[in-house]
Each structure stands twice: as C-alpha cells, then as structure tokens.
C-alpha cells in the first residue's frame, strides 16, 4: 500500500467512477459518505465512514480523524461536489495536505470575491454588492432599477435565490438568519453554461450549452433543460470570452462550469459572467460528456485534486450535440408517485432516463440529482435536441400525491414467518400501525392483523417492488417496509431503497449477511474480533486451521439459523465435520463462495438487540444463549435478564456501537451475537433484523420495550420509545425429540396449567418429521416461556412445565435418517 486518499462523497448515482481513477488495490482509498450514497462507492475501499450529511462539518471532521487514526495522514483529500469543496479545503489547511486551500477556492465559492476578481480582469459581470439588510437592497435598486435578485454569497443550484420586483416585495422579504447575502440586477437574458477543462496553459476541451428555462424557475417548480450549441459564430464568441475568463481566475489546471448571460442578438452576441464554479457541471452534464462525447470530467477533476496529470483529451467526436431535462415533482414533498410514464426509447425521445417508480416516496432532498425525473438526449443538431427536450417535457405523464400526515400510517411486512414464532410480532405491529403483508402465498392466520396484502414472487425484484408499492399506496399517509425474515432481508432493503422508504441500506445488509465481509471490515477497523480465513475445500481448511490454531469454527458465509456452523478441536474433527459446513443449506439462501474458518471464541455466548436511530446505537436487551448438540451450535434456549451492571456491559456497548458504524448500519433493529471471552466481548455476527426464537417477545416481557413496535416506528421514519418500564427476567426453553423421528402426538395442556402462567407454544404437529442437528434445522417440539423476578424463578417454572410436556415420536429407520 502507498498513499492514503480520503474522498468526501455524496452522490447516490454514479457521477464519479473512483475505481477507474485510482487503483484501490495499490492505494488506500477511504471514503466519508452518507448511508444513502454509500451504495455508489466502488469495491475495494480501505474504509468507509458514514455521516448523516457531508455538510455537517463536525461529523465529517470526526470521520476524517477516525480514518487518520487508522491509516495515517492522507496524501490528498478529494471532494468533487461543489457543496463539499469548502470542508475539503478547510481540512487540507488544518492537516497540511496539498491541494486547493480556502484562498484559492474563494473566487469560485464566494460570489462577491468572484465578481471583484472578474472585474479586475476586465471581464463583464452584473453589478454585485453585499446585501446585509433591506436598506442595502433598496439603495442598490435605486441605482440599478427593479427587479433585483437577492442570493446567498455562497450557494449552489439557485438555492435561496429570490427575485424582488418592487419595494413592497422587498418589505415582505425576510433575510435568512446567519446567511451572508448579495444583490444583483435581474437580467432577462438567455443563460448559457460552458463546461470544460483548463489546462493551465489555455482551454482544453469545452462545450457551450443554452438553458431552456432557468435554474431559478426550476426552484419554483418549472422543468429545466439544456441543449448544446452548434452555431459556429456564437461558439467563436463564447470560446474567446471563456478563455479570457478562465485566465482571469486561475493559471493552474482546473475543471470549470461557467454560466453566462447572452444578449445582443445573433449578429453581435454580448456576454457577461453570471457565475463560475471550479468543478464539473451539475445536473446531467458529467453523464452527457461521458456518454455522448467520451470525456470524463470527474476524472479530470479527480486528477487535479490528487496532483496527477490531466487525462488525455478524448478523440475528436463525430457525434452531434446532446442535452438534458430535469422535471421537478408536481406536488410538495414528501409525496408519493402515482404516475411516471417512461419516455426513453420513444420516437424522438431521450436515449436514457432516471424516473421514479409508481408508489415511490419522494423525500425532500436537495440537489439536481434528486429531481423528480431526469432525461438525457442526443441528436444531429441543436434544433433537433431542443425539440426532443420540449416534446418530452410536454408529454411526460408525471403525477404525485402529497403525503397526509393526519392519515393512518401503514407498514408493509415482507415475508410471513411461521405462526408459532411470529404471531406475537404481527399482533405488536398491528397494535402500532396499519399492517399490510407481501408474501409468496396468500395469508391465512395473519388476516386478523392485516389492513391489506399482496402476493409476489420474492425472488423477482420488480414484482416485489410493485407489490410493496401497491400496499403502500393504499394509504394517503406515511408508509414503511421491513422484514424479520433473514432470507428476505437483502430483497427488502433493495425495495426500500427503490421506493425511497427508510431502511437499512442494501450495502449494510450485505455487510451483515456475508460473514466474511463482516470479519474483513472488523479487522480493517481494528475492532476486537476472531482470527479467520476464507477457505476452499478441506485441505485449504486444514492448512488455515494450523495457522489460526485449534479449536476452530467452520461456517458457511451467508446462511442462517446456525446452519452448517460446526466446531473442530483438532484436524481429525475438522476432517469429520467439514462436510457439514460445506454441504449446508438453508431454504431461500444461496451459499456464497467458500467457507469462513474462525478462531473459536471461548466463553458464554449472548445476543444483544439494539435500536439504531440515525446512526445512534441504543442497546436494549441482552439474552444469554443456551447452546446444545455439540459440536454444533443449536440454540436450545435464551434468557433475557438485567445486564447493565455486569462488568462487561460498557465494553459490550462500545463493541456493538463500533460494529454498527463499521458495517454501515445507520437505522434499524439489529440482533448481534457476542462471545464474552476472557479478553473481553468479541462479535460473532451482526444481523440486520429483529431477533428470532421469541427473543424480542422475551425482551418485551422483561423490560417493557417492544422491539417490534420500534421496528415499525423506524420503518415509518419515527423515533421509537425505548424507555423500559420493568427490569425482570424472561426465558424460553425449546424441547426436542430424543432422536430423529416422526411426531405421533404432542400434549401441552398440563404444561400450560403450571402455576406462574408459562406460555407453551407447539412448534411441531403430528406427522411432522424432525431431524436432529446437523441433519435438520431447528427440529423443535415446543417452546416454553417463563417470566420471573430472577433467573432462578424462570428456571423453576421451565423445569416444572417442561416435565409435563407429553410428546411421542416414532423413530426413523436408519436408512432414511
């Protein structure tokens, strides 16, 4: 490894292809980004730190400090989005990192400095003055006339820009508190934008475009388009003016986005600068350059910020001009999409588009990237492209309905789950919000808890998305989605991302589901973990086990329910049990490549359920696991009991909090499994869902905190109530047959009648075949649940009730086991 690079990144779409700009296998490239944008990062990052917003300077600094602690001071800090240029420049100065500093950035971010620099260079700009108050604006209008524009000194995408047409409009205008403002005359001219690369010696590649409508009108709800120009006379004038403007601002290489006012008619074009940015153009400009003209403006900007040579110019293009269109949402956000008819592929339409799906919830997010719909065009002439843009704007059927905060909230649960294990959760969810269900089969016993349902093939992403969207659209109010089914967790995360609903990100879900990814990320972050190896085949496992040291645990990377997880104390045992892991299966889950071989973590195993709200981890329940059927890890019971005063409590909370951060979990109810070793708590795995085996139910009985209700709240974007109302104990014990067999009868009546009121839940029925580990998955007869003030009280009730369970099984013949 050589240089450490830190990239501050905010796009959810792939505006920048960092993986092609720098070799992530040679350089340590770490990222500071948001949960929403993390999915657009390339593989191979040295580390990723998540922040709520890259505009939160405190959070970004803390993330950068964490990366420096791990990898050392960066050689470069990169930020390609205009809004992130300031914090990147500040960090470079504070850390002594080469690159653009605040003084060099000022002419491109401070519009007053920009205007003065251009005036000094003989470049025409509109009159520009500070606007600290109403008197300053009134004086400016007296000198220059009405209307005027009041805008932030440091702003982007016309955010905060207001047109004032009269003294009365000025009197009604409220200055935003704490935001420096300026005033300029309103000019009713065409607006051009020129995008390109300055080489330090002159202009490199550049292209000029004309806005169709204005950025200011876009903020008021009108579509915004742009078309590249092909008029040679106008382009000659624009090129000469652009060259002088670029020289006036900087003599170094830089990527620019220059906006110009055009007046004077076609015969004698007159130009003046509206504003200029030292970064690639926004909206669809970077995509258009790559797709139509073969040049990656982001690659050039990355090279400038890392001190590398500019990429070679693209070969001369024979393609005609391009253009783009942004369509705002037709209703106030947050809103739900009710119609969005595709236009790509229609005659004279766009060559590509990004439009929402029907049922998607559009949140109030800033920036052109999050416009309601985005289209890109190409054609043989400016006139042809402009006509296509205007036709698309006129014909695009786009409708949205604002969410009604007074309407009942609805949560869509994906996947049924077994009645015995999840009916308590359906009841809890239905007591908290309207519940709709999307499953592979029609609901039966779930119907009393449901306000709606759809069936869909859970392996078909489009069908699953449509079904969830249909269920969500049935209410005018807020909707959410979640699952407690491990098999459906990744699919549900993808659906939530597509529909704009709160959920753990798909990337975080993958980090949790893949045990190898979990181990690698924990190792890279320096968190206490287990020594491990990725192994292929028995011989590889034997070699790696010698390096790790026996005993070892071998497990599939991506299954569930402890399927295939097995302990080996020496090479002979590893030879004997390896096939159990290698051939393990879990319904609905495909095993990933290879197995994970881990150091055996000695000590009691516990699970800890946490609620994660906007990155803050709140541990709620700790359950002591009861394990059986060695060398396998069958969970035969769980005890939830007070734990805050345990000597390991603080270390456990620190470990779990850091694990969520490292794996990218910013929201959701999670279930972590931990070993309490002599050296301290060590994470076994982190599951991005409600725990199974009745553990959330036990937690509710013991503490009063309802984790199912918390999951519903998080899915709806609300903050759950996590205040405990009691501090008792609750325990579940699972009962198993004495051998592989077929259940003949199961009588729980006497057990359920034991004083102290245990819950006794049948988990098998007559005729059901049960195979003990490792041949079967959770082959249980019944669950007995007890509550009490102490663990001893629970155990007493469990002992008495379990002894009264009457089960008869018929052994299976040897040849069918």
Q: What is the pLDDT of residue 364?
A: 87
Cα separation values, 512 from 381, 598, 660, Å: 51, 16, 9
Q: What is the pLDDT of residue 615?
A: 86
Q: What is the pLDDT of residue 59?
A: 94
pLDDT in tens, 393-431: 999 999 999 999 899 999 999 998 788 999 999 999 999
Exposure string of 439-459, with b = 16+ CB inside 10 Å and e = fewer, is beeebeebeebbbbbbebebe
Q: State the burial class of residue 56 (Cβ atoms within 10 Å of its Cβ: 0-12, 13-18, 19+).
A: middle
User: How high is the mean pLDDT of the chain?
Assistant: 92
**Is 80 exceeded by the pLDDT of residue 137?**
yes
**Is 90 exceeded by the pLDDT of residue 654?**
yes
Percent of the chain with pLDDT over 90: 80
Comparison of pLDDT for 134 and 44, the residue scoring more: 134
Q: How would you classify residue 717: left for phi > 0, otherwise alpha for psi between -120 and 50, otherwise beta?
A: left
Q: State the burial class of residue 668 (Cβ atoms within 10 Å of its Cβ: 0-12, 13-18, 19+).
A: buried
Exposure string of 154-167, with b = 16+ CB inside 10 Å and e = fewer, is bbbbbeebbebeee
pLDDT in tens, 203-235: 999 999 999 987 778 877 889 999 999 999 999
* Average pLDDT rounded to a whole number, residues 717-729: 95
**Is 60 exceeded by the pLDDT of residue 773?**
yes
**Is 70 exceeded by the pLDDT of residue 376?**
yes
Q: How far apart, in whole angstroms, are the C-alpha atoms of residue 692 and residue 678? A: 27
* Average pLDDT rounded to a whole number, residues 559-574: 86
Q: What is the pLDDT of residue 814?
A: 65
Cβ contact 295:314 at 8 Å = yes
pLDDT band at 317 (very low <50, low <70, confident <90, very high): low
Q: What is the pLDDT of residue 1?
A: 35
pLDDT in tens, 666-679: 899 999 999 999 99
CA proximity to 493, closest of 10, 434, 485: 485
Q: How far apart, in whole angstroms, are the C-alpha atoms of residue 437 and residue 443? A: 8
Q: What is the pLDDT of residue 778?
A: 81
Task: Tell me the domains of the chain and their CATH numbers.
Answer: 4-99 (3.40.50.20), 127-185 (3.30.1490.20), 188-314 (3.30.470.20), 321-402 (3.90.1170), 410-503 (3.40.50.20), 531-599 (3.30.1490.20), 602-727 (3.30.470.20), 731-816 (3.90.1170.50)
Which residue has 């620190």 as its token pair? 654
Could you check whether the bond before residue 147 is cis, i.e. omega within 30 degrees of 0?
A: yes
Q: How far apart, in whole angstroms, are the C-alpha atoms of residue 425 and residue 449? A: 10
Could you check whether the bond before residue 28 is cis, i.e. omega within 30 degrees of 0?
A: no
pLDDT band at 44 (very low <50, low <70, confident <90, very high): confident
Residue 572: both structure tokens together: 């002979």
Prediction pTM value: 0.83
pLDDT in tens, 444-484: 999 999 999 999 998 999 999 999 999 998 889 999 999 99
**Is 80 exceeded by the pLDDT of residue 316?**
no
**Is 90 exceeded by the pLDDT of residue 562?**
no
CA proximity to 238, closest of 193, 294, 198, 179: 193
Percent of the chain with pLDDT over 70: 98
**Is 60 exceeded by the pLDDT of residue 817?**
no
The DSSP symbol for 15 reads S
Neighbours of 303 (CB within 10 A): 19
Strand order from edge to edge, sheet including 129-130: 129-130, 181-185, 148-152, 162-164
**Is 90 exceeded by the pLDDT of residue 280?**
yes
Helical packing angle, 506-513 and 515-525, nearest 10° = 100
pLDDT in tens, 735-762: 999 999 999 999 999 999 998 889 999 9
**Is 90 exceeded by the pLDDT of residue 313?**
no
Residues 6+ apart with CB under 8 A from 387: 348
């Amino acid at each position: 490894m050589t240089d450490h690079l830190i990239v501050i990144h905010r796009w959810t779409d792939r505006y920048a292809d960092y993986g092609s700009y720098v070799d992530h296998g040679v350089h340590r490239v770490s990222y500071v980004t948001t949960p929403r944008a993390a999915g657009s990062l390339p593989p191979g990052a040295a580390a990723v730190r998540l922040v709520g917003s890259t505009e939160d300077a405190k959070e970004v600094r803390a993330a950068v400090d964490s990366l420096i602690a791990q990898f050392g001071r960066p050689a470069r800090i990169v930020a390609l989005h205009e809004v992130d240029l300031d914090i990147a420049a500040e960090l470079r100065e504070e850390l002594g990192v080469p690159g653009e500093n605040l003084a060099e950035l000022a002419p491109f971010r401070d519009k007053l400095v920009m205007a003065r620099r251009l005036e000094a260079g003989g470049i025409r700009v509109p009159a520009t003055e500070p606007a600290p108050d109403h008197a300053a604006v009134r004086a400016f209008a007296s000198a220059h006339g009405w209307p005027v524009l009041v805008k932030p000194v440091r702003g982007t995408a016309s955010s905060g820009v207001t047109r004032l047409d009269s003294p009365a409009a000025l009197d009604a205008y409220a200055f935003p508190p704490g935001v420096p403002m300026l005033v300029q005359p309103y000019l009713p001219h065409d607006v051009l934008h020129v995008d390109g690369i300055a080489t330090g010696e002159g202009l490199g590649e550049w292209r000029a475009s004309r806005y169709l409508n204005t950025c200011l009108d876009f903020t008021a709800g009108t579509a915004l388009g742009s078309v590249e120009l092909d008029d040679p006379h106008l382009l000659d004038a624009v090129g000469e003016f652009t060259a002088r403007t670029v020289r006036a601002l900087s003599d170094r290489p830089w990527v620019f986005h220059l906006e110009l006012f055009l007046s004077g008619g076609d015969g004698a074009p007159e130009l003046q600068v509206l504003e200029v940015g030292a970064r690639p153009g926004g909206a669809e400009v970077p995509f258009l350059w790559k797709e139509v003209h073969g040049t990656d403006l982001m690659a050039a900007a990355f090279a400038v910020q890392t001190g590398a040579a500019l990429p070679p110019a693209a070969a001369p293009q024979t393609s005609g001009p391009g253009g783009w269109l942004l369509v705002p949402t037709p209703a106030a956000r947050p809103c739900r999409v009710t119609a969005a008819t595709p236009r790509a592929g229609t005659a004279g339409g766009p060559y590509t588009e990004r439009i929402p799906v029907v049922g998607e919830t559009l949140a109030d997010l800033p920036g052109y990237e999050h416009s309601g719909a985005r289209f890109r065009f190409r054609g043989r002439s400016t006139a042809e492209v402009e006509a296509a843009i205007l036709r698309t704007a006129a014909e695009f059927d786009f409708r949205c309905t604002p969410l009604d905060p007074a309407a009942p909230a609805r949560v869509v649960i994906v996947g049924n789950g077994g009645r015995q294990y999840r009916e308590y959760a359906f009841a809890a969810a239905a007591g908290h919000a309207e519940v709709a269900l999307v499953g592979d089969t029609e609901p039966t016993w779930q119907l009393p808890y449901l306000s709606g349902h759809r069936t869909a093939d859970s392996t078909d992403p489009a069908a699953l998305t449509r079904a969830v969207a249909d269920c969500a659209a049935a209410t005018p109010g807020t909707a959410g989605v979640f699952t407690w089914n491990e098999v459906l967790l990744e699919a549900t995360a993808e659906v939530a991302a597509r529909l704009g609903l709160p959920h753990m990100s798909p990337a975080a879900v993958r980090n949790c589901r893949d045990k190898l990814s979990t181990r690698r990320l924990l190792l890279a972050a320096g968190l206490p973990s287990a020594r491990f190896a990725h192994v292929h085949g028995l011989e590889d496992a034997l070699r790696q086990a010698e390096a790790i040291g026996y005993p070892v645990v071998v497990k599939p990377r991506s299954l569930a329910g402890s399927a295939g997880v097995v302990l080996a104390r020496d090479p002979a045992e590893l030879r004997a049990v390896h096939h159990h892991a290698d051939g393990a299966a879990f319904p609905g889950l495909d095993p990933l490549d290879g197995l994970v071989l881990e150091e055996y973590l000695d000590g009691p195993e516990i699970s800890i359920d946490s609620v994660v709200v906007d990155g803050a981890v709140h541990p709620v329940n700790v359950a002591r696991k009861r394990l059986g059927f060695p060398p396998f890890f069958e969970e035969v019971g769980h005890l939830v009991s007070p734990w805050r005063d345990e000597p390991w409590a603080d270390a456990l909370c620190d470990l779990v909090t850091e694990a969520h951060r490292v794996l990218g979990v910013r929201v959701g109810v999670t279930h972590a499994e931990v070993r309490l070793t002599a050296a301290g708590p060590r994470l076994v795995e982190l599951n991005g869902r409600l725990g199974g085996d009745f553990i959330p139910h036990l937690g509710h009985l013991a503490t009063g905190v309802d984790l199912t209700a918390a999951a519903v709240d998080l899915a709806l974007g609300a903050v759950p109530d996590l205040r405990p109302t009691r501090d008792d104990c609750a325990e579940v014990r699972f009962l198993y047959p004495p051998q592989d067999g077929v259940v003949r009868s199961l009588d729980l009546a006497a057990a359920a009648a034991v004083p102290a009121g245990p819950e006794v839940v049948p988990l098998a029925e007559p005729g059901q075949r049960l195979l003990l580990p490792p041949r079967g998955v959770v082959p249980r007869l019944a669950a007995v649940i007890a509550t009490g003030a102490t663990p001893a009280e629970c155990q007493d009730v469990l002992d008495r009730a379990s002894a009264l369970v009457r089960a008869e099984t018929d052994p299976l013949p040897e040849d069918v086991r």
